[in-house]
Amino acid sequence: MARKAVDALAERDRLALLMREEGLDYNEIAEALELSPGSVGTTLSRARRRLVESYEALQRSREEREKNAAS
Amino acid sequence: MQHLDEGTIHSWLDGSLSADEAARVEAHVKECPQCASAVAEARGFIAASSRILTALDNAPRGVIPAAAPKRRIDPFVWRVAATVLVVAAGTLVVVRSRGSNERLMSPPSDTAALVTKATASEGAATAGAPTTSPFDHTVETAGVSRAPASAFSGRGAARNSISGAIKGRYEAPREDARLGAGKAAGAGGVTAAAPTPPNAAIFAPSQIAGAVAMDAAEPQQLKLVGTPRRIGAKVSLYEVAPGDTVTLTESVPVQLQQTVVTGATASAVSPQAGRKAAPQARALTDAAARGGAAADSQPGANVQSSSGAVSAPAPAPALEMVSTINTIRWNDPVTGATLILSGRMSVARLQEIKIRIERERAAAAAKKNP
């Protein structure tokens, strides 16, 4: 489900998020993604929000399936 | 101050802002509850996203099929299998050994038939039942079937002696070595130099073995082992020594009594003398094969000469071959009949047997007419 949530992200958001998770700083991420250093924060904030929202959406749908299956 | 945007808040929380910007943001967050709430929400997104990405490192369950657990055999099953195997192996061994024993213990029918046939054809009426083990029984039977064909065929009167010798072997079971040696000597003078037990007499050519026997040990009593029937004669079969048999033929109308000594030409000797005589016997046999030249240099010659105390019509040669048949004649003092004793042995040996026969006959006559 985490994989689905990550795959649902835009490529740039996903890469920025994975680079940050790997320990790269904003300058390295900006250089890798050809972004301005000031826009990395915006990209990361958008990616994190979408990731969490997507994950929560998948989790809810799963719970609903299990609930429907149980019922 | 303008409210903080989300990107600036994440940059501040990630520590990517400069010190001045960070101090300015921090001061604003303390004063602005809306931005403080946005910072709190941003912390939540950072933490949640971090947990979701961390979950990617863990191997997702269900992707790799789990290996089927190995079926372990219960140790109790192993114990049962081992027990069954041991019992089966033991049973097999017992059954096989029992079967072989039964085959050994039951005398072969063809061997028994051969014995019966040989005994009947030779006219031996008093053939005793074989007392040896079935294994020895078989060995002796082989000798019975082979001896007449190889050495004694066509000898006429000597055939009774052969059957007597065979019967004597049956009635007096002996060691296999002695039987084998006697058989070999009777078959052509080849002495078997097989190892013998300490108490077993060693068969050697009569010349030496007989002489040594007279010097070394008291000869055994003549043993009546059979009375084969012959037309016009009364035949008595004696065993003068283990392996040596004597056939006493008493012609009824004619005053002629003939004693033929055949069979194994070796006699019982003491173990020490036997061991001494055995190698000499082989040398003598070889000499006979080359032409009968006497081996005067053999130590056995001295023994022979010293034992020839009995007077003989002809001087006994120092060494006499097994294949030579000697004959001595004398008159019975009681009946006046002429007795002829011949056999494959030295004259001295024949003289010794003659004395024993006379002694036996005298004793029998004394018992018959006290």
Our CA-based measurement puts residue A49 at a distance from the nearest CA of chain B, in whole angstroms, of 6
Give ∠ CA B164-B267-B330 in degrees, rounded to 5.
Answer: 70
pLDDT, residue B106, reads 52
| Cβ within 8 Å, pair B10-A52 | no
CATH of the domain at A26: 1.10.10.10
pLDDT, residue B258, reads 55
3-state secondary structure of B254: coil
**φ, ψ at B243 (rounded to 5°):** 95, -15
Chain B contact for A29 (CB, 8 A cutoff): no
Tens digit of each residue's pLDDT (9 = 90 or more) over B114-160: 444 444 444 444 444 444 444 444 334 333 344 343 334 434 444 44
Tens digit of each residue's pLDDT (9 = 90 or more) over B328-364: 777 777 777 667 777 777 778 778 888 887 887 788 7
pLDDT, residue B59, reads 59
Compute CA distances B112 → A5, A62, B29, B117, B138, whole Å. 101, 97, 126, 9, 9
Tens digit of each residue's pLDDT (9 = 90 or more) over B201-220: 444 444 444 444 444 444 55
Candidates B5, B17, B53, partner chain A, best to mutate (most A CBs within 10 A)? B53
pLDDT, residue A47, reads 92
Domain interval for residue A32: 2-70
| Cβ within 8 Å, pair B14-A26 | yes
Report d(CA B210, CA B206) in Å as an integer: 5
| Cβ within 8 Å, pair A21-B55 | no
Q: What residue has token string 């300058």?
A: A27
Chain B contact for A40 (CB, 8 A cutoff): yes
3-state secondary structure of A60: helix
**How many CA atoms within 13 Å lie on the side-chain side of B180?**
12
Output the pTM of the full model: 0.33
Compute CA distances A17 → A12, A36, B9, B364, whole Å. 8, 16, 16, 136
> If you ran DSSP here, which 8-state letter would residue B245 be given?
E
Report d(CA B263, CA B235) in Å as an integer: 16
pLDDT, residue B46, reads 92
Cβ neighbours of residue A42 under 8 Å, at least 6 residues apart? B5, B6, B7, B10
pLDDT level of residue B236 (50, 70, 90 thresholds)? low
Domain count, chain A: 1
What's the N-to-C CA distance of chain A in angstroms?
23
Tens digit of each residue's pLDDT (9 = 90 or more) over B38-82: 999 999 999 998 888 888 776 555 656 666 667 777 888 889 999
Higher pLDDT, B28 or B181: B28
| Cβ within 8 Å, pair B49-A52 | yes
| Cβ within 8 Å, pair B52-A6 | yes
- How confident is the prediction for chain B on average, in pLDDT? 61
pLDDT, residue B232, reads 59
Q: Write the residue in B7, B44, B53 that is nearest to A17 by C-beta.
A: B53
Within a 10 A sphere around the Cβ of B271, how many other Cβ atoms?
16
Chain A contact for B52 (CB, 8 A cutoff): yes
For B127, left (φ over 0), alpha (ψ -120 to 50), or beta? Answer: beta
**Total CB pairs under 8 A between chain A and B:** 72
Closest alpha carbon within chain B to A6: B53
Chain B contact for A30 (CB, 8 A cutoff): no
Candidates B17, B45, B50, B63, partner chain A, best to mutate (most A CBs within 10 A)? B45
| Cβ within 8 Å, pair A41-B50 | no
